[in-house]
Amino acid sequence: MTAVRTLLAFDFGLTQIGVAVGNAVLGTCEPLTVLRAREGQPAWDQVERLLAEWQPDLLLVGDPLNMDGTPSEIGERARRFARRLHGRFGKTVELVDERLTSHAAKAEARERGHRGDYRRDPVDSLAASLILRSWLDGSG
């Protein structure tokens, strides 16, 4: 298997999915975009365009576990999304514990002056970058 260099991370949600890009060699990550979703299903052609543009070696999907580490209700949908990513595009997908990343993303956004209207100005791509950062710090 080729060494992991470029990664895309996804912060799964039912109405929007945050995406971040990172480089494992350089240890960098940055928020990229937010995909609109319907019941957790993105427009797959948008995902395909992101994969074509960034050519990631690995895809990461946040696994929203309960605080005690048990699977959450939304977690099964996130895992299904991860399986669909792999099935549709043949890319390796890893789940990453994302406990508290959305909370941390909102706190970081507030520090940057975010006004708190997360529907009009979502922080999902920032949450995705925190998922990616967690992977880089622990696995990369």
Concatenate the DSSP letters of all residues of 50-72 into one string.
Answer: HHHHH--SEEEEEE---TTSPPP
Q: Would you call 107 helix, strand, or coil by DSSP?
A: helix
CATH of the domain at 132: 3.30.420.140
| Separation of alpha carbons 10 and 4, rounded Å | 17
pTM, entire model: 0.82
Encoding tokens for residue 138? 């622990």
For range 56-74, the mean pLDDT: 86
- Percentage of the chain modeled with pLDDT above 70: 80
Q: Are 127 and 101 in contact (CB under 8 A)?
A: yes
Structural domain contains residue 1: no
- Give the count of domains, the chain: 1
Domain that holds residue 57: 6-138
Closest listed residue to residue 18, CA positions, set 37, 39, 44: 37
- The pLDDT tens digits of the residues spanning 12-60 come to 999 999 999 999 999 999 999 999 999 999 999 999 999 999 999 999 9
Confidence of residue 138 (pLDDT cuts 50, 70, 90): confident
Residue 82 lies in a domain: yes
Task: Give the list of residues 6+ apart from residue 63 with CB closer than 8 angstroms, or none.
Answer: 75, 78, 79, 95, 96, 97, 98
